[in-house]
A and B are shown apart, each in its own frame.
Chain A
């Protein structure tokens, strides 16, 4: 008789490791991007400074992702940040240097890299990734750091000094619904299927759907998934059986591609409304392209290149080999906002960290020249904007065109508080 002395032990080991390994899922997505240039502030001879300014040079930190899952996006946003500051000054006096560090989208690495730059930066031009922003929140708060994340979760607005670049996901998707109602693509009492990621990104998007559903009597079929789930066949089959009139997505581009191909295959011909991170230009090379171009509506905090051709030209001249995504628009937009904060601090005569935070808190009605939706101001716990653009995928640089200029939907105020 065969005596297998290794099989069972190995089986149990493998089972344990497989369970452990499956816990390492990927992360919630970030999104698209921006640009523009700003006006200089007042002259600054008697400006008080402390950390992060040497002579006439201000150093800003950038914690981005150049090698992790959001590397392409991180590269675009960071390039745009750099390009903006090459051509702009604070108060017409100070040049800005960026201390760019690559977190690889690992929170632990982000925390370590921040401790390395902590004593040499005035503020953070960019921090990519909700998990990293959340991990650094206590330090940013105690160090009085003004920071611009490239994610739109409502929880990020709870961090003092952190400026979400547009409407939060709940307000954003509610504006998307408003557009569908206006265009007659959805009506009161209809059924909507919403696929969303577990975690704060998905929960925040779903909250927007639930708020609209309560107002308009929509029936909502919720389908929660993990970022690693790639095949949406089962969810779309379920939606089709329930007879949904629209699909809402707070997921990543991979899931959108699957939703589009399966919906097409099953003959589920309904509009798809997406939170801004659902779209990536690469989708337009895949089998889902036709369906996506026809039925996808993206609620977005930033505009697209067709409204800002000069920005695209400038970017392509500086980075001829890059394939620009809307991350470029986000990057320019957030740099423009930082410039307005620093200019205001400079005009107040106080470019210390505390002075910068004060200027940030006092900022109202931020206009980035149409790159980012108008910002009403940064108040803790509130969506910085009530407006969103509606974009539609198309075969253009950046992959999308503006279908509806920035507007405030009827549900926005109630949701934003």
Chain B
């Protein structure tokens, strides 16, 4: 039971971080109808900036500047590329983001080298225990921060002008434009928010129990993808549920590797994708995505 609870807690903590990243995918998709594949490198950029700046600036100012850098990078990509290609086919835009991702990632990997760059979290590697069940303080703080951010995000989405404008644009871009909503602005802000969310997720993903900033942190964003997709690529709530589902499934599959041996070693790595495929088979638009309807 202790093992199960430990794994569950760990899965939830991983899941909320996946959810933060997945929410970035979702709002970008809603605002600009682009499936952004550059989240991995944005995540790494956030982690790298925070780690590098922590020395000269101190930990907390480094977080702020790191978020600013990541958001600015996302903003620049939106302004210089995505905004100019508005109306291009979905697949072209997706491939463009892959291109930008590879460029940014190559530079970051070159800078990182093979060593490990540490982010000096004030909470370090300490852990929090309830009985025999333990969770690193880093992950506990991640859960709390993510919960606050997600709540703020939902509120903003529902009540702020930006949220309303974004929902209107996603619902029907042309009508929204006729009503005076500036889609370019909505889209730019969505990319900025996604950048900030990626930087926050990165801050916790490179802390205990995972090592510091290494190129492998990039792969985490790839696992958040199935979270966004199985939740429904245009559903913010779906991203949250999808993130948790993937995080828990992955942690349990890794922890019960021996019991799942009949499925082969390393099964946990493919769990996010198996869950995603299983969900899509039954619900092609994801759990909470808008269903495609065709009048005949």
Contacts and interface: CB of A to CB of B under 8 A. Distances in A.
Contact of A265 (B3, B37, B118, B208): B208
Contacts of A264: 125, 127
B182 interface: no
Given A265-B125, A286-B118, A25 B212 contact: no
Contacts of B100: none
Interface residues of B, number: 82
Interface stretch (B78-86, B188-196, B285-293): B285-293
A282 interface: yes
Interface centre among B10, B214, B228, by most chain A C-beta atoms within 10 angstroms, is B214
Nearest to A260: B125
B7 A261 contact: no
B6 interface: yes
A258 B266 contact: no
A54 B83 CA distance: 58
A26 B216 contact: yes
Contacts of B294: 3
Nearest to B295: A3
A342 B276 CA distance: 57
Interface in B101-132: 106, 109-110, 113-118, 121, 124-127
B285 A224 contact: no
A257 interface: yes
A198 B265 contact: yes
A6 B170 CA distance: 11
A73 B114 contact: yes
A298 to B, nearest CB: 15
Interface string A67-98: 11111111100000000000000000000000
Nearest to B226: A18
A377 to B, nearest CB: 31
Contacts of A67: 106, 109-110
Given A12-B284, A282-B212, A233 B29 contact: no
Interface stretch (B62-70, B144-152, B156-164, B248-256): B248-256
B255 A238 contact: yes
A11 B286 contact: yes
A255 B253 CA distance: 18
Nearest to A196: B265
B229 A230 contact: no
Given A18-B222, A234-B7, A287-B124, A241 B209 contact: no
A44 interface: no
A232 interface: yes
Contacts of B109: 67-69, 71
A47 B268 CA distance: 59
Nearest to B6: A237
Interface string A236-266: 0110110000000000111111100110111
Contacts of A230: 205, 210-211, 214, 216-217, 219-220
A45 interface: no
B44 interface: no
B233 A237 contact: no
A47 B91 CA distance: 63
A414 interface: no
Contacts of B254: 223, 229, 234-235, 238
A238 B223 contact: no
B229 A18 contact: yes
Contacts of B243: none
A113 interface: no
B110 A287 contact: no
Contacts of A308: none
A258 B216 contact: no
A70 B290 contact: no
A339 to B, nearest CB: 27
A234 B268 contact: yes
B174 interface: no
A258 B209 contact: yes
Contacts of B118: 282, 285-287
Interface string B178-208: 0000000000000000000000000001011
22 contacts: A2-B290, A4-B293, A7-B232, A10-B233, A14-B233, A17-B37, A22-B225, A29-B114, A67-B106, A198-B266, A230-B210, A230-B211, A230-B216, A234-B257, A238-B256, A254-B212, A261-B208, A283-B116, A283-B211, A287-B124, A291-B125, A325-B115
Interface of B: 2-3, 6-7, 10, 14, 25, 29, 33, 35, 37, 90-91, 94, 98, 106, 109-110, 113-118, 121, 124-127, 134-136, 171, 205, 207-212, 214-217, 219-220, 222-223, 225-226, 228-229, 232-234, 250-258, 265-266, 268-269, 273, 276-277, 280, 284-286, 289-295
Given A4-B285, A257-B211, 11 more contacts: A4-B292, A7-B234, A10-B35, A10-B90, A11-B286, A17-B35, A68-B110, A224-B257, A224-B265, A238-B3, A261-B125
Which 8 residue pairs across A and B have the least CB separation, nearest first?
A: A287-B125, A265-B127, A257-B211, A234-B254, A72-B113, A228-B219, A18-B225, A224-B265
